[in-house]
Structure formats: C-alpha cells, structure tokens
Amino acid sequence: MPKALITGITGQDGSYLADYLLSLGYEVHGLVRRVALEAPETRFSRIQHLLDRVTLHPASLESYASIFHVFSKHDFDECYHLAAQSFVAESFADGFSTMSTNINGTHYVLAALRELRPKCRFYFAGSSEMFGNVNEVPQKETTAFQPRSPYGISKVAGHHLTRNYREAYGLFCVSGILFNHESPRRGFEFVTRKTTSTVARIKLGLANELRIGNLEAKRDWGHAADYVRAMHSMLQQQEADDFVIATGQTHSVREFCEIAFGEVDLDYREFVKVDERYYRPAEVDLLIGDSSKAQKAIGWEPTYTFRELISEMVASDLAVLKEDFSRSGATAQSTTTHA
C-alpha cells in the first residue's frame, strides 16, 4: 500500500486529507510537535477519530535534525507539506516566527527529501494570499505574486523553493495554490468559523453580537474536503506541475454573514458590529481563482456550493454547542459576551 506523510495533520486540511488517503487504502503518517503529543485531548481534536489508524512522529519545522530523523527511518511515497503558521492576522503581529516556520520549515522538508528520499513526491500548500494586490482578475498560475502580508510573502518563498527543487534537482515537487477553503474543522480565529460559531452562540443565547473587520473584503471560498482531493490528484500526474484550486466565484464577508445568520432565521444587521481592530494593516480586497488548468489536467471540480458550505458549518457549530449542553446538563443562558 502507498505510504504518505502529512505535516500539519492535526489541522483542518491535514485531517481531511488523512480521512481521504485512508479511504484510498494509504498508510498514513503525520508530523506533530511534541507538545501536541503531551496534550492529545486538545491538540488532536480534528483527528481523534483517526488516531488508531495513523502513525504520528514528533518533529518540529524549526528543527532540520528532527525532520531528517523521520525521513531517515521511513520511506514515504508521498509527502504533503501542509504545516504552517497560516493565520494572516497573526503574521502581521509576529512576522519573524511566521517567516521562520513557513520558509525554513519548507526548506528543511525539501532538503531532507533530496538527501534521503528523492523519489518521494512532494506537495507544497500554496495560498491565494500569494497574489495579494492582484493585477488581473481572476488569478491563475501565471498571475504575478504581489503579497500584502508576511504570511503571503512566506508562501511565495515556499512556492519558489518548491519550484527550484523540481527544476534544479529533479524532484517531483508541486505547489497547490489553494484559494480560501473552509469547513466545520476550521480554526475559530478565521473569519468564517468565527462567524458560524458566533451565529450558533447567538441563536442559543450565549452571545449578543459579532465583532468583525472588513465586511466588503471578497474571497473565493470552497470546502476543504473538496480541496484535499485536488492535493492528492496533483501527486498522481506523470509530470510535476503547479495548479490553482478555486471555485471561480467570489463572495464578500457581508454575504457570508447574511447567509450564516439566515440559517438560523436571524438578520445579520442586528448583530454584526464592524470593529476596526480587526482590519489588516494591508488589506487584500478581492481574490477569485481560475482553476481551468486543474479542471483539464487533473479533472478536479468543487462539489460544495457557497451556501452548502455555510449551512454545514452553522449546523455543525449548533450541534456541538447543544451536545455540550447535554453533557453538562446546562441550559443556554443569555450573556453579554463578544465574539
């Protein structure tokens, strides 16, 4: 059976990818920080249902030695490098650690592969944030990168490192330039999950408002479960290449809020408060991807609509809260907490 390593297996994409690869008969391994192994009840929430079917290895993206050690012990067919500091707002607050983790971590994994496992196929998780201040709409593989955040800059560097290892050393390395993709497993710090979880709390009387930044920012939003299929398909091709993965549709944060609140029969205008504290120092106003190359080359298309994505996220957050109430025997009470 094929053997795959996923860095960032405990994250949204890593957990969905592990699900998908296991369904295809893969032997799945994951890199995790040692601190995660010491607190599995909180760190492994997204892969709790998979722990008896995956093998986890302690390693740090900041330590070449630890990454080298894992590759020295195991011969993987595929490596999916998803681990990163991926919250854009945090990258403005701590650009140094974002750069160090995202750039050096990618370089360490590629260097270890070249030294020890040159036949292992490598996937790099690129991002639409690499395009930044776009000079064409929609964005495709040939669109110039003009990132507007330390996170975007770090991903551009990782993209070029991946391409360089492909061209200079002949490794099978690809970059997936994925536009925004969400799910019920998204982190609460991201605007989408912050919105759907707060909608659930407001519906159950646990909050009375949602404070948010730029309502007019527009993004191309898809479902993470769709996007991990694309990751896998990229590594099954005869030749390594880079692909944009996107729905080809753009929606504003305001639209996201309107639909999310509408799922529980509420008017978003009564609860959403614009708070300039959540504005980025340098905003990216419009991102929309052209995935026609991926559609033709690897046969990928999204299956979720924008509305279906939001509906699933709201329903999941409501179900989680209700289950918490049921376990604790508590009743939802009206509070004055802020999102």
Catalytic positions are 127, 129, 151
- For residue 101, give the DSSP letter: I
User: Among 261, 181, 251, which Cα is nearest to 216's?
Assistant: 251
Answer yes or no: are the C-beta atoms of 245 and 176 closer than 8 Å.
yes
Tokens of 11: 């994250």
**Rounded to an integer, what distance in angstroms lies between the CA atom of residue 126 and that of residue 138?**
17
282-313: b or e for each residue (b if 16 or more CB lie within 10 Å)? eebebbbbbbebbeeebebebebebeebbbbb
**Rounded to an integer, what distance in angstroms lies between the CA atom of residue 158 and that of residue 229?**
21
Q: Which residues pair with 218 in a beta bridge?
A: 252, 286
